[in-house]
Amino acid sequence: MKIIMAAAECAPFAKAGGLADVIGALPKELSRLGHEVNVIIPKYSLISEEYAGEFVLKESVEFSFKGQQKSFGVFEYDQAGVKFLFVENDSYFKRDQIYGEDDAERYAFFNRAVLEIIQRQEQQPDLLHVHDWHTAMVPFLLKEDQRYSSIREIKTVLTIHNLQFQGKFSKDTFLENFEMDARYYDEGIVEWRGDFNSLKTGISYVDKVTTVSPTYRDEILTDFYGEKLNSFLQEKQQDLVGILNGIDTEVYNPATDLSIEHEFDAMSMEGKLVNKRAIQRRAGLPERGDVPLLTMISRLSGQKGIDVLEEVLPVLLAEEDLQFVLLGSGEEQYEQFFRTLAADFPDKVYIHVGFDEAFAHLLYAGADIFLMPSHFEPCGLSQLISMRYGTVPVANKTGGLKDTVVEYDEQLKAGNGFLSDFSQSQPFGLALARALAFYQQPEHWEAVKTNGMKGDYSWSRSAAEYAKLYERII
């Protein structure tokens, strides 16, 4: 099959979250299965010169956008059998960050650019796969705008990576940026609950909708997780499929990772302790192999359950012999909580506000326990990466966390982590206490670490599921 993907992010070129990891890894696995894959993303000026210096300008395209003639360059870069196409327009993508205040207009431009590129290709794709709200209007334009009538029969898939972000704007925003008839809004085609809703529109027009885990697929049909779109999703649930994300097992491989202090694998874990001491040195914490080292690598937002840690961590640090290292940034109130925690427990806590890819790899490799108290988690990649490196997740039982973390059974020595559901019988603090208790029992701790490391978290299984879904649609 010839497959085209369009997204706002793609690792390693431009990354703000897990969406980029998916777009960086899934196409490569589909290519390995023998499919031809093109990926279209914006050419942000923040893309490292290491990559941008290798991009080749293939063509310049002129088209009408918002009643004016606009142009963009199409740059090409081949990697691992995948052709990456970058849309260059300085007024929209020459920025210091991926997202901004004028995203409605920027991604409306990108949506049209995607279709202009497809329309100019000699061989039309069998399937177009778009991701999240940023590209969700592409299927609508494909079907409804006469400019694209020659490619209208292309089959389409939309993946929801996080339902919380729907691309909701005003009616005027729709009319100004898409130059389509007002009836599409007035008749409720692009409208939902008083807003122009990009994601809802995309869901209406694609052949299939996927989520990034089976449990999240079921959760978003409920009031609690449905982000006020659940009643609409219930009408489309026969076209809603949950496929679990994977991770790039070449990038995240403790046996070959050059970002960490010492490589190791499930058969020889001595290197894990070397990485632990490297973290402690960098963090200015006492270098001890016997103390449990907890970590969290996360965007600091309400979704991620920081409020849970506000209750649990101060008490735990006051009463227990342990260390905690955070890597992340986000809402000011949560950043301030962790800064205060580090000030209160300078010999136990280290905080790095921001992001550092190499340090993230070291934390995955050297920590003992990884914290994920998320209130919801469509898939989650951190628990998969941490288990790959023998770091044991303590997580809330939601979304992809529920699908991938299995509660440790001391009788069978089976399972790869510890789970809570925030109930009185299974609070997060109790799940963490259980993990810390098993940390003191080497026989069990080695078992839970090894179980995690031996799991298959690769994209190969997920890519095969996507390929089957594409085939059924076509």
Q: Which residues are annotated as a binding site for ADP-alpha-D-glucose?
A: 15
Classify the C-alpha dihedral 402-405-406-410 as positive or negative.
negative
How far is Cα 201 from Cα 184, in angstroms, rounded to an integer?
A: 10
Nearest to 392 by CA among 318, 448, 308: 448
For residue 434, give the 3-state DSSP assignment.
helix
Do 293 and 323 contact (CB within 8 A), yes or no? yes
Sorted by sequence, the CB contacts under 8 Å of residue 125 that are 6+ apart come out as 2, 3, 4, 38, 118, 154
For residue 196, give the 3-state DSSP assignment.
strand
Q: Which two tokens stand for residue 397?
A: 């039982």
For residue 398, give the 3-state DSSP assignment.
coil
Burial 90-118 (b: 16+ CB within 10 A, else e): eebbebeebeeeebbbbbbbbbbbbbbbb
Residue type present at position 110: F
Neighbouring C-alpha atoms within 13 Å toward the C-beta of 361: 18
In this structure, how many other beta carbons lie within 10 angstroms of the beta carbon of residue 152? 11
Residue type present at position 184: Y
Give the DSSP letter string of 76-115. EEEETTEEEEEEE-HHHH-SSSS--TTHHHHHHHHHHHHH
Annotated binding-site residue numbers? 15
Provide the edge-to-edge strand list for the sheet that holds 369-372.
349-353, 323-330, 293-300, 369-372, 392-396, 418-420
For residue 72, give the 3-state DSSP assignment.
strand
Do 429 and 312 contact (CB within 8 A), yes or no? yes
How far is Cα 438 from Cα 420, in angstroms, rounded to an integer?
A: 16
Please provide residue 455's backbone torsions phi and psi, each rounded to the nearest 5 degrees: -70, 155
Q: Which two tokens stand for residue 325?
A: 């290292």
Say what the alpha-carbon torsion angle 247, 253, 258, 261 is, to the nearest 10 degrees. Answer: 120
Angle at 127 between CA 124 and CA 129, to 5 degrees: 125
